[in-house]
Amino acid sequence: MDWIKKHYDQFALGVIALVLLGFSGFIAMKTFSFNQAFAALETVPQRNDKLPPLDLAPVAEAHEKLTKPVSWAPKKNSGSLFVSIGYIVDPNTGKLTAPGHTSSGGSLHPPVPDSYFLDNHLDLLSPTALEDDPDKDLFSNLDEYLNGGKKNAAGEPESTSPVDPKDHPPYYTKLYLEQWIKVPFLLLFQSVDGDPAKPETLTFGINPKSLKQPTEFLKIGETVRNTKFRVEKYEAKTAFNKKIEEEEDVSELTLKNTETGESVVLVVAKLTDSPDSYAAFTYIWPQPHQAIKVKKLQEFVLKPNLQEKFKVLDIKADHAVIALPGGGEYTVPLLKK
């Protein structure tokens, strides 16, 4: 340190000399690397004369558009070129709106949607749109929409065409139940004698009404004379009668038809309905309407396909169930008056 203080000028010159020497080395290295980079630039690149294939699809598409005449293709139910789709006044709101967008859920004639009339070019504003029959096949627009009898790929009901007379619902959809005709049963369960705890000792008094024969006294397993009904089962019962304010005997005796297997339950001292009930149908195809009376479990035919047979399976107050010729069942609705 004393030497540096005494020879300060010499020490400074030495430091400067070292710095200059370092800069000289750095410049020399840069010069060497520049020469290498420049030498790489002087190398002649490899020639490539191959061109990628041209994509002529856009050219072909443009040529097709130029050669094809321009045509106007309206959207479904969008009106004509100069006349738009007809607008209507919503009967609920009183506002002007497009068909299919009314406040009633897109239907001026429920349950048929507006689109059904528009798709088939029918008069949506006709006050009798549901009852109209444009193809004259005796099936109304409502019939065609509701009773197509066909199913689409998803298994959902599909409507038929209201403008094609060859495409219509099945004829049996024009069948309606007019009345369920009940027939009184000819056998009256009058009495029971014996020990209820021992069914084999019981004897049942059965009065054959209108058969002109005396009361019979039968045991379980025996058949009523001149009938096909066998005594099948007995069940002792009582119930409170509000009119007389006391318990009364409502015991039940079950008879079974030995041919059909049908059972009928008789209540002691009370007349019951026969299983031989009838369905009174009204067939409204063609005009005039046709009345058809069919006994339960009997077969019947409908015009125009008289070779196809239907069968009444069940009858209720508000509907009947029939078996279809090709298999399956159909519920015949009650005729609305």
pLDDT in tens, 107-135: 788 888 888 888 888 888 888 999 999 99
Residues forming a β-bridge with 311: 299, 323
CA distances from 87 to 98, 101, 120, 158, 317 (A): 5, 10, 17, 28, 45
**Strand ordering across the sheet containing 187-193:** 187-193, 203-208, 216-218
Largest CA distance in the chain: 164
- Residue carrying structure tokens 């030497």: 3
161: left (phi over 0), alpha (psi -120 to 50) or beta: beta
pLDDT in tens, 60-83: 888 888 887 777 665 655 555 555
CA-to-CA distance for 126 and 86, rounded, in angstroms?
13
Task: Kindly state the average pLDDT of the residues 320-334.
Answer: 93
Sign of the alpha-carbon torsion through 312, 314, 316, 322:
negative
Name which of 30-44, 120-134, 305-319 the model is least confident about: 30-44
CA-to-CA distance for 47 and 49, rounded, in angstroms?
6
Statement: residue 94 has pLDDT above 80: no
- Residue carrying structure tokens 């054959």: 208
